[in-house]
Amino acid sequence: METNASFKRTAMVIALAAFVWTGTTWSASGVSAAAPVFSDVKGHWAEKDMVKLALQNIIKGNEGKFRPNDSIRREDAVIVALKFMGLADNISVGGSIAFPSSFQVDDYAKPYIVEAFKQKILLADEEYALANQEKGKPWGKTNASREWVARLLVRAIGKESAAADNAGKATAFSDNAKMEANLRPYVLTAVEQGLVSGVTPTTFEPKSPITRAAIAKLFSKAESKINVAYSGQVYGTLLTSDSGKLSLLLDNGTIVDYTISASAMITRFDSDKAVPAATLKPYSKTMLIKAEDGSVGYVEQLDNQTYVTTLEGTFSKLTATTSSVWLSVDDGFKDYKYDKNYEPVVTDAQGKKIALADIPADAQVTLIVDKVRAEPKILAISVKQSVVNKNGSGIVTAWNPASGSLEVADTSTSETTKLTVSPTATFKQGDVFVKADQLKTGDMISYEVKSGVVVSVQMAKPAQTTVTGTFDSYVKDRDTILFTVNGSLSAKFLASGAAVRITGMQDATVADLQKGDTVTLTLDSADKVSQITVTGRNVETMMGATVAGYVAGTKTLSLIDASGKPRNLILVPNVRYDLNGQSLSAETALPLITVPGKKLMVSFSGENAVYVSIVAKYTGTVLENNTTAKTLKLQVGANTVTLPYTYPVVEIYGQTSSSYTQVNVGDQVSALLNGSQDQASAIQVHKRAQFEVVSVDAAALKLRAQKTGTSVVEEWVLPSNVVLQDENGTAKPLSQFSAGMLVNISFQGKTPSVIKNARLAFGKVVSVNASASTINIELSNGTTVTKSVGGSPVIVRDNVSLGSLSVIQPEDRVEIRQDENDRIFVEVIPVLRKYFWKYSAGSQSIDVKRSTLDENYTYALHAQAYIHQGAALLNPTDLKDDDVISLYILRGKVVEIAK
């Protein structure tokens, strides 16, 4: 509950706000394009509209700020409407104006209210009645509601008759019943006109105060519904826009160059964001607004059409005296005029600008001619060949021998150049001429261009070559491999991280190579071996083989395989030995593996053993659990293993006590063997679950985390071999996990074995590409990232499935995460709008003002909560009593507060 002091403080804040914004809100001096229009709108969702209306002198700020998220008062909303209608010059500020005592308006606004009554965008009877209903509240200073502004807007665009036709009709919003009956038709009309939408897809919030930013957005959109010539506003067809300049072909046929302010807002009709001037589409309809210093402060491309035609032909000649370009067309010649004061922009096939006089005779050209002037003239000429002569070098990124299309990434600038290769071009590798199809993507080349086409290509030595031979030996101290090719012994150094590939053997190394192996060596650009592939030798694996005996003199290990068949294998010098994943030396391993009856897993090639593991456990998928015969059948890799058990210890995460009867077909398990290796003494079921990290003690290998969807906090001392990963599966240390992170934990029994980041992104939706299954998200640091969500993401809002990605809209807040089964979840987080009351540092929570006694008013803050006003970061202590805030709540905690 708020105290009396709290109410007094609130009243003081409101009074102070009224003092600051009274009158000066709409009468501050004009803006100059030498600096941004307002200092507090950069990056705001309505920045485009606020800048445009400011330069049109429809809205004003105070001391360089606009305060976009503040509410707007009724009297100031009326001023905006009248200036929007172009009626500011009708206002007479002289004389005394009297209204009924219940209808209180600030002096500076009274002339505007009189004009609004005259223009009938306000009706005196309606507003006087409203003032009488709100006794004790000054009509003018009261915040304008969303439904009230809808009526003001509809009348300002002259759609009163449309609203009359909508009388008695309901809107599609779920809070339709909360609208005033006399205002509902105007809300419906404003929606039909495409001017307003809901606060959410289903709610309008008619009684909520409208912000200064929102009213700028509404009247900006509504400009398409009226015909007002704002001062400094110019329309035309865009010709060029670069280097701080912009050229327009005006409707009167003149071409005018304008200087673009360094702080100018450059926009397109299909985006609310600022864009680079270079992205504006040439020859489209464009509007600009000049600031007081004459420079352009706002530019907007109005559509995606081009107001030009194209003509093709063969260039014949240029007649400068008559400003004519002659083309050979059909069986004759035709001339086309250009503006002598605006020479056409001429580009060749490489996009390079050339002089009009440098167009080659008989070149195929395309003329771009305007559709604005009564006598159309040439605006640009595209020459369909290059006039460039040059030499270059780089890496081939694309090559099509049939079409002669070549793309090369320059080695010094990394810029990609598109080239056309002459059919008669020569290709050489070293001093040897080669065929064109020997040029490959990734090759380093140098080339010569004449008259725009490549006439010669010099290819460097390939980045990789292969050599096939017979393995001889590996010299460890020199990291060198010896091999023979056609009977001659050769040597090559190994590259760092060189891979060894042997069919049937995982994690093979150089130590697993055997003399006589046929090998293919892949050599890198430094002539070092980057990969060794063994051919003609496969590795097989026996699971559960039993030792029958060992002959030390011949190093022969006698085994009985799982089917009872005897096998003799030779323990060659490079055999690898293993006990539960721990590597053993031959000296340590031999006494353990030569004991008759010992169970082993053995990989072998021919008669030679290559890998021997002393079996202490099997990890695989349960194929059968016969609780009567007490046997467990597992699929382990390509093999099956059947293990007897008596009363094994069974561990299943989330269960305090478990039995072998709870081990099910399809479960992933690790079966630990007894000392005799003839029974499963323990069965650890593999499970996965999602948690939010509470705390980390990296030195003690301790992790505390809360399972999502519960209030239970668990703590583990992690085993030394636990796998720690980021969301991409890359290893990361425990010290980089922090409170608030979402993680998926894989359990082997009740022990964490893998801990992986689960959250992929949280932020504001910029755009959605449903066909590409991607979402562009603006993070809290201001950067925008593209996240792929795959073909079948789970999309939810308030635990309700939403269907396809198309339901997600720009400005939505979403969290993209992987669940414990690695499915992609996209959760749309609803907005909750509240008035801030106070912050508690001890409990890390905020209190908001509530409208009913049973309404929740305390919200816990997430450890990584993003608190901001526009692009400016805030601390919880920066929030003040009565601030209007938007809350985004995830898993019971506030993850974002937007003031």
What's the pLDDT tens digit per position in 383-404? Answer: 887 777 778 888 888 899 988 9
- The three-class DSSP label of residue 705 is strand
Q: 22-26, 114-118, 220-224, 259-263: which has the minimum mean pLDDT?
A: 22-26
Q: What is the pLDDT of residues 730-787, one digit of tens each?
A: 888 999 998 888 899 999 999 999 999 987 788 899 888 887 888 989 888 888 888 8
Helix (H) or strand (E) holding 19: helix 4-21
Dump pLDDT digits (tens) for 89-146.
888 876 678 899 999 999 999 999 999 999 999 999 999 999 999 988 999 999 999 9
The amino acid occupying position 832 is: L
Whole-angstrom distance, CA of residue 632 vs CA of residue 634:
6
- Look at residues 747, 670, 649 and name the one whose alpha carbon lies nearest to residue 703: 747
Give the count of alpha carbons within 13 A of 532, CB side only: 33
CA–CA separation, 510 vs 493, rounded Å? 12
Sheet holding 824-829, edge to edge: 784-788, 774-778, 759-769, 813-818, 824-829, 794-797, 800-801
Q: What is the pLDDT of residues 493-510, one digit of tens each?
A: 998 878 888 887 777 888
In this prediction, residue 10 carries a pLDDT of: 33
CA of 641: how far to CAs of 631, 632, 638, 844, in Å? 10, 8, 10, 54
| 226-244 pLDDT, tens digit each | 999 898 899 999 988 876 8
Q: What is the pLDDT averaged over residues 533-557? A: 88
Q: Which of 787, 782, 777, 788 is nearest to 814 (CA)?
A: 777
Look-up of token digits 């090639």? 605
Kindly give the pairing relationship between strand 453-459 and strand 444-450: antiparallel
Q: Which of 276-280, 753-757, 789-793 has the highest mean pLDDT?
A: 753-757
**Model confidence, pTM:** 0.45
Q: What is the pLDDT of residue 783?
A: 82
- Residue where the block lists tokens 């909520």: 208
Average pLDDT on 656-668 reads 91
Q: Note the pLDDT tens digit of each residue in 837-884.
A: 999 988 899 999 876 777 788 998 988 889 998 888 899 999 998 888
> Which residue would you say has higher pLDDT here, 433 or 653?
653
Residues 6+ positions from 31 with CB-CB distance below 8 Å: 37, 54, 55, 61, 291, 292, 297
pLDDT band at 34 (very low <50, low <70, confident <90, very high): very low
Looking at every residue in the chain, the average pLDDT score rounds to: 86
Integer Cα distance of 365 and 383 in angstroms? 5
